[in-house]
Amino acid sequence: MVFTLHRTYLKEGTHGALFYKDIFFCFIIELPYLNNIKYKSCIPEGTYTLTPRYSKKFKNHLLVNGVKNRSLILLHPANDAQKELKGCLAPVSYLTGVAKGLYSKPQLEKLVALCYQAFDKKETVQLIIKS
């Protein structure tokens, strides 16, 4: 399973459009790109593997693996990148401002459900990020 994230870089944050099988799936909000600085920057463009993760805070969500010089990069719910993200990615249904959106939790649930179907079949799930 392969997802493609097409990014637009802005001074205050990063917007993305996530596609699955060339069909739009959702928007993604992130911090601005600041040379991959931990907790302050979105991750670099590239190809990453997604794996399942669970925490009390986010419940079922996704871990982005293979990010150079970074760890614990997650796909988790957030509606404001500046206030709620520390280098992670958040799916949203609608963009409402720079790196802000709405309905992140239900959008993450849809994404997790799709990915977990692939995990159950022992399929690899990849995220390709490009501008």
Model-level pTM?
0.96
Nearest to 53 by CA among 25, 75, 20: 75
- Sequence-distant (6+) residues with CB within 8 A of 61 are 53, 54, 55, 74, 75, 76, 77, 108, 112
Q: How far apart are CA 14 and CA 120, in angstroms?
A: 31
**Residues 85-95: pLDDT tens digits?**
999 999 999 99
Q: State the Cα–Cα distance between residues 16 and 90, nearest whole angstrom.
A: 10
**Residue 128: predicted pLDDT:** 98
Per-residue pLDDT reduced to its tens digit, 62-93? 999 999 999 999 999 999 999 999 999 999 99
Q: What percent of the chain has pLDDT over 70?
A: 100
pLDDT-based confidence at 109, cuts 50/70/90?
very high
Identify residue 52 by its one-letter amino acid code.
P
b/e 97-108 (16+ beta carbons within 10 angstroms → b): ebbbbeebbebb
Residues 6+ apart with CB under 8 A from 19: 3, 4, 5, 6, 25
Confidence of residue 37 (pLDDT cuts 50, 70, 90): very high
